[in-house]
Homo-oligomer: A and B are copies of this chain.
Amino acid sequence: MSKNQLEEIKEQLKQKGYKLTTQRRIILDSILDNQDKHLSIEDIYKIVKEKMPEIGLATVYRTIMLLSDLKVLNKIDLDDGCSRFELSNSEESHNHHHLICIKCGKVEEAEDDLLEALEEQIENKKGFKVINHMVKFYGICKECKKE
Contact = CB atoms under 8 A, between A and B. Distances in A.
Contact of A128 (B122, B132, B136, B137): B137
Interface in A21-60: none
Copies in the complex: 2
Nearest to A118: B114
Contact of A130 (B114, B119, B139): B139
Interface residues of A, number: 35
B138 A133 contact: yes
A77 B80 CA distance: 12
Interface string A99-139: 10110000010101011011101100111111111111111
A141 interface: yes
A129 to B, nearest CB: 5
Given A77-B77, A79-B75, A133-B135, A142 B118 contact: no
30 contacts: A75-B79, A99-B126, A99-B130, A108-B126, A110-B122, A110-B125, A110-B126, A110-B128, A112-B121, A112-B122, A114-B114, A114-B115, A114-B118, A115-B115, A115-B118, A127-B141, A127-B145, A128-B139, A128-B140, A128-B142, A129-B139, A129-B140, A129-B145, A130-B137, A130-B139, A131-B138, A132-B137, A134-B136, A134-B138, A135-B135
